[in-house]
Structure 1
């Protein structure tokens, strides 16, 4: 893995701060143009401080702190993402390693991949009889496709030299899987997982808006019903920040397993 110097960290931090300054400037300009119909960063900051002052309060089913809402969403995303990955990785390995697997499964992938999570939600309710189960279902079914595709691509691009080594040493199928296929495909698998977690985090908001209950998506919808645009903007910033942290975590994992050792 390529080492990162203190200078690189400082430069990246400066770029990030400059990017956030641009975002805040555009936001403030929009607030001025709309005559504060879109709340300004300053007024949103006031509401943010109120929300994080006591993030874990619980005054009933429809009155919970932002921390409880966020943790509830993270739990659903983690469960749905894990279930989707357990399906996606073996499916991608099968598609990438055999022509029969590719011909049989690729049409299924291409038909189901574009389907909106909102279209899956009624089926999830029918199958699981509960909104939580339906939300986890739509996360799993919509987030697994990038992992399937990237895993299949990684396996199918294994060089012939690697395959010949396995044949020359008489590797069993299990040894070939663990010593050649998976090590070569891992960077591609992590790339797929990185894309999948992003989709999972996007889907959770739509799912919780439909299902209600507890979660950051429900918080957005409830804030809209309460005509609190500041709370909606706070939720948007939290959703974006968590998404950024997810991406950075998988980017670090991807770099750790990258074949580029420069």
Structure 2
């Protein structure tokens, strides 16, 4: 990966300008206004507007439910995503680099990848139902998050490795760079932007899946909060939990984007120093 490519990939790492912040704030305010206008005249049992949603959010904060459920969801996402990264990147590197691994493993990966993670819930409950280490529902949810992250990571990594330009590989081999050094000095730096993009997308998918999994099989988390509030006809709490899900997802994506930009910027600086 050239220095210019790394610098282009790291754009957006600076703090947003006041103009960008103003545009973003305008978009949010316009959405809230449309939401308010669409729910004018509704009673409490109908779709709640922004005011009732804020009241529900304050109620969740005061009761302590919100913090407990956010922590529970983040705990499951962290475990599932880390496991997916630990297994998915090495497997993706193998599939992208070794022809035998690609021919052997890629058909299985592509066959399993379209299966919705939620479809695995009965199997996950059956597999982890006898566990004595952790709560079985936690393990089942972590397993679903792992699956939802694993396949995008493997696919992105394999595609990134396979798309490394041959001129870089040939130049490195001509200078005697082979084996482990070829992977760490040429293949990984060249494929890192695409891998990081895959990780960012996989983390977003994981956050969506944890909410769906918690609505089906656990007794804590933001998905459980939505389902429990719906069962009690507290739609103000439903909308409050949905707002928290969206804001938390935005924060997670922003943190991942900052990490991506920082990593690529450091790589660009390092490559520039080597020149």
State the TM-score, normalizing by the size of structure 1: 0.89
Give me the whole-angstrom Cα distance separating, in 2, the residues matched to 1:4 and 1:171: 32
Alignment partner of 1:142 is 2:151: no
SS in 2 for 1:32: coil
Query: Which residue in the other structure is 1:58 paired with?
Result: none
Alignment partner of 1:165 is 2:171: yes
* Structure 1 stretch displaced more, 146-155 or 228-237: 146-155
* Structure 1 stretch displaced more, 67-76 or 247-256: 247-256
Cα deviation, 1:27-85, whole Å, max 9, x if unaligned, reads 11221275661111011112212222353xxxxxxxxx110111011000100011111
Cα deviation, 1:128-172, whole Å, max 9, x if unaligned, reads 111111111011012222211211121111111211132122223
Judge conservation of contact 2:39–2:47 (CA < 8 Å) in 1: yes
Q: 1:72 to 1:94 in 2, by over 3 A?
A: same
Judge conservation of contact 2:97–2:162 (CA < 8 Å) in 1: yes
Cα deviation, 1:184-222, whole Å, max 9, x if unaligned, reads 111111101101111110011111111121111111111
Kindly state the Cα deviation for residue 107 of structure 1 after the two structures are TM-superposed: 1.6
Give me the whole-angstrom Cα distance separating, in 2, the residues matched to 1:107 and 1:29: 50
Which gives a bigger RCO, structure 1 or 2 (Cα 8 Å, sep 6+)? 2
Cα deviation, 1:69-128, whole Å, max 9, x if unaligned, reads 110110001000111111211111112112322222222222111111221011111111
Gaps of 5+ in 2: 1-9, 130-135, 270-275
Residue among 126, 133, 142 paired with 2:139: 133
Query: Which residue in the other structure is 1:104 paired with?
Result: 104
Alignment partner of 1:28 is 2:36: yes
Query: Which residue in the other structure is 1:41 paired with?
Result: 50
Give me the whole-angstrom Cα distance separating, in 2, the residues matched to 1:110 and 1:174: 27
Kindly state the Cα deviation for residue 3 of structure 1 after the two structures are TM-superposed: 7.2
Query: Which residue in the other structure is 1:230 paired with?
Result: 236
Residue among 22, 27, 31 paired with 1:19: 27
SS in 1 for 2:19: helix
State the number of aligned residues: 252
Kindly state the Cα deviation for residue 10 of structure 1 after the two structures are TM-superposed: 0.7
Q: 1:27 to 1:118 in 2, by over 3 A?
A: same
* Structure 1 stretch displaced more, 18-27 or 162-171: 162-171
State the TM-score, normalizing by the size of structure 2: 0.85
Alignment partner of 1:216 is 2:216: no
Kindly state the Cα deviation for residue 5 of structure 1 after the two structures are TM-superposed: 6.6
Give me the whole-angstrom Cα distance separating, in 2, the residues matched to 1:44 and 1:158: 49
The correspondence of residues 171-210 of structure 1 with structure 2, limited to 5 A, is 171-210=177-216
Judge conservation of contact 1:147–1:191 (CA < 8 Å) in 2: no
